[in-house]
Amino acid sequence: MSVVLQWCMRRILALLPRHHILMETRPISSPQPLLQPGDKRPRLESPLPPKRGKKKKKTPVESGSSEDVISREVVALLGKEVVDKAEADGNEWESPFGFREEVELTVSSISSSGEGLALAPSSKGAWVVVVPFVLPGEVIRARIYRQAKMYSFADLISLEVSNSELRDMNRVKCKYFGTCAGCQYQMLSYETQLNLKRNVVVKAYQNYSNLPESGIPAIQPTIPSPLQYGYRTKITPHFEPPPKKVQKQGPSTSEEGKPPWLKIGFNQTGRRVVMDIEECPIATPVLNETYAPMRDNIAKEIYKYKKGVSLLLRDSLEIPGGNSPTATTQLGDKDNHVCITDHKATVRERVGDLLFDYQAGSFFQNNNSVLGPLTSYVRDAIFPPATSDPPSTTPPPPPTHLVDAYCGAGLFALTLAAHFTKVAGIELSADSIRFATHNAELNGLAHKVSFRAGDAAQIFDAVGDFPPERTALVVDPPRKGCDEAFVRQLLAFRAQTVVYVSCNVHTQARDVGQIVSWSAEETAVGGEGKGKYVLESLRGFDLFPQTAHVESVAVLRLVS
């Protein structure tokens, strides 16, 4: 091939959109695609490298984001002095690896996102490689596909030496595991998963709280999920429309069933490319029962779609006359489970003896089996059991009032309402507040629970009659955590007990560190009467078994 022709081919490939690039040459439906020792992964076509001559724009990283978390863990692995020197020399973005270069590595640790971290060979200098589906101590071969600050991302090619103490591929229950981005830990025992998640909480408070070691209590064992498979009550498969060439040609007369180019499912790990997935073993049974015929219907109607679609399947109790079911599974004597696929339809869940209705497209925890233990834990944190030993100081009186910030459909406000005289909840979403108010009426609690729509930072304006010394505050914010305005208002109010529930332990650690340190600073400069917060306990909850995700509950108490 001539030099000119080679140049032209490279330019054509560089102009192709990413979703047209072939990402995987083997059939993704083959069972247990993750490698066994000695196996070699078929060649992957990695994303194209950036054009030469243009430097990557280095945008600020948001605190507590996945990029920020892995960056801090890379610093911890390399050592701060090493990274500081690289920054001083201006080569922290200069990877020692070429695009698609293959390298043999020994995995050092697992990141908080469930990926393996491996030091580059000594000949490459101080650098880290991030590889999915590998475990500490394993020797692997990997192929580099993207560079970042002081680290590179790589695909797993082969597993040369396995960690036989941790890895057992017989535990894997999904034929897409190792390619699908949804799960990271199916090859591990559940006990190991819980231990890893406890370690995520430990690292988060080391890296983000800015608290001294003496100010962080011993991290308690992670609370397990009653279900490790078949627990997820919401899935969102997606698919792309027919390629433009296919749209112009129309369906082939010989084409039967689902076209080979149609992929309905979830993203491949590390890529924005849809895998064709027929079922998800962590989803509840009724979702999988609905998903199969839904896939068939999409295949029949695919030529009508001009844009990509993100589907919604949500497990719900049947509401008589209230949510048109698409499939039904009988569980027990009283509850029929149905699958809701309309974003605006109403979903119903039972938590303990209470019922919760909410709009299908809105937020609600996606593992119903663990909501009983979670809400009970929050209750016990607010009302700790009395100890047999006489206290050294007189304990404060138990709280009589509850404030539920970021209350959503009212999960904590309503499950805890029986223990309080008065409860107030606030949420930015007006639709969520409408359902929360409905749920208070549905469960006969409207006489003591009220909800309002608005910014959580303004919630304390609505509870001016709540005595702070008899008030408990539950905080359950989105992944970005609380802003400074909310923390300042929290400190001005000074509730006796604060229980911070979080889906992002890293932003939780940051916020808790601010609450503790700022309250101590205020007390030190003349606010002795207000008291300061101490972090009393910290514990993870496993809302998503088989994945690296961990929920966290921090309990803060006001002390004089």
The span from the CA of 242 to the CA of 248, in Å, is 9
CB 481 within 8 A of CB 502: yes
CA angle 460, 466, 471 (to 5 degrees): 90
508 appears as a binding residue in the annotation: no
For residue 510, report the phi and psi dihedrals to the nearest 5 degrees.
-60, -50
**Helices 80-89 and 66-78 meet at what angle, rounded to 10?**
100
359 is in an annotated binding site: no
Using alpha carbons, select from 148, 114, 147, 107 the residue that is nearest to residue 133: 114
CA distance 525 to 545: 46
Task: Say if residue 365 carries a ligand binding annotation.
Answer: yes
* Residue 111 to residue 102: CA distance in whole angstroms: 21
Decide if 177 contacts 66 (C-beta within 8 A): no
Separation CA 193–CA 189 (nearest Å): 6
In whole angstroms, how far apart are CA 424 and each of 86, 431, 527, 556?
A: 51, 17, 27, 20
Residue 406 annotated as binding?
Answer: yes
| Type of residue at 134 | V
Q: Which residues of 153-171 are buried (b: 16+ CB within 10 A; e: fewer)?
A: bbbbbbbbebbeebbeeee
Number of H helices, E strands in the chain: 11, 21
Q: Would you state the structure tokens that stand for residue 247, as one six-digit string?
A: 């749209």
Nearest one of 100, 168, 103, 97 to 135, comparing CA atoms: 168
- The active-site residue, picked from 183, 280, 339, 503, is 503
User: Helices (DSSP H) in 16-93: which residue ranges?
Assistant: 66-78, 80-89
Helix (H) or strand (E) holding 96: none
Amino acid letter, residue 65: S
Q: Rounded CA gap, 532 and 491, in Å? A: 9
β-strand 449-453 against 532-541: which pairing, if any?
Answer: unpaired
Nearest to 313 by CA among 350, 262, 264, 380: 264
Picking from 167, 128, 141, the residue whose alpha carbon sits closest to that of residue 32 is 167
Supply φ then ψ for residue 99, to 5 degrees.
-65, 125
Active site annotation includes 503: yes
Task: Point out the residues that are catalytic.
Answer: 503
In the annotated binding site for S-adenosyl-L-methionine, the residues are 365, 406, 427, 476
